[in-house]
Structure 1
């Protein structure tokens, strides 16, 4: 797995891709290597892939610590964060950089038709082949590549195998 697809509310997707939201808070999130490409799916009403980020690190903390120490970096209201993390002893914070808002979004219908991909409730891993297909769908976009994915012939070959 070389990339992660995150479903995010449009207001948070905008903040992440503007670079003002430095971390995305999740109720749970497994491990992912620094440098992993993060594809952002903006949920309803946008319903489209809208850009990429680079995962720098994942940290975990109690919900009250998340708010106390990081509220200025997560761009979410305290009551919304409290409601979202209700019942959790720990939250995952995905620290991201290199925001890249795409000029041309990939609408949900195109995701379904060309990638056979449904947006996840929270997140899902993307294979090298899926990332390669995204590259062919948006060749003019600067799609981030994870450390294990390189550009060029192997990238195009992965795309051909996936089709």
Structure 2
């Protein structure tokens, strides 16, 4: 299933400029395959689907080990990283492969007027995916 991942605009910028090679999460999607297509939703105030990437490796470990391993390609400050994982024993690092930035970001409300941004991520239907790709 295709995934729509909600990411704060400042981290989307780091992904798009190539300095953020991993997206960090406290929980992970259950349904995915390696090379799964992920749509990047840049959250408030942008509120647009700005690109895609394919899932590389997903590494599960304690935050300290994740930071030590990926800090140079994290696109995030150490203080923000540990604040995000506060009181968590484990976290996930999703490798970002085959990044594709849209020239024309898509407003998901143009596809579905009832669209509600996911807190973290959601699965999207094939029809929704096709509509996004049609609009870019």
Q: Counterpart of 1:62?
A: 62
RMSD of Structure 2 on Structure 1 (CA): 1.5
Unpaired stretches in structure 2, ≥5 consecutive residues: none
- The 4+ residue runs of structure 1 with deviation greater than 4 A are none
Q: How far has the Cα of 1:98 moved from its partner?
A: 1.2
**Separation in 2, partners of 1:95, 1:21:** 9
Q: Do residues 75 (structure 1) and 75 (structure 2) align? A: yes
1:20-55: CA deviations, max 9, x gaps?
211100011134211111100111121111111111
Unpaired stretches in structure 1, ≥5 consecutive residues: 139-163
Q: Determine which structure has the larger helix proportion and give its number.
A: 1
TM-score, normalised to structure 2, is: 0.91
Secondary structure of the 2:3 match is strand
**Separation in 2, partners of 1:13, 1:112:** 23
Contact 1:6/1:123 (<8 A) preserved: yes
Q: Counterpart of 2:122?
A: 124
1:44-80: CA deviations, max 9, x gaps?
1211111111111211110111111111111111111
Structure with the greater alpha carbon radius of gyration: 1
Contact 1:18/1:99 (<8 A) preserved: no
What are the residue-to-residue correspondences of 1:3-152 with 2, within 5 Å?
3-31=2-30, 32-113=32-113, 116-138=114-136
Q: Which moved more, 1:126-135 or 1:44-53?
A: 126-135
Q: Determine which structure has the larger strand proportion and give its number.
A: 2
**Separation in 2, partners of 1:80, 1:57:** 23
Secondary structure of the 1:119 match is coil
TM-score, normalised to structure 1, is: 0.77
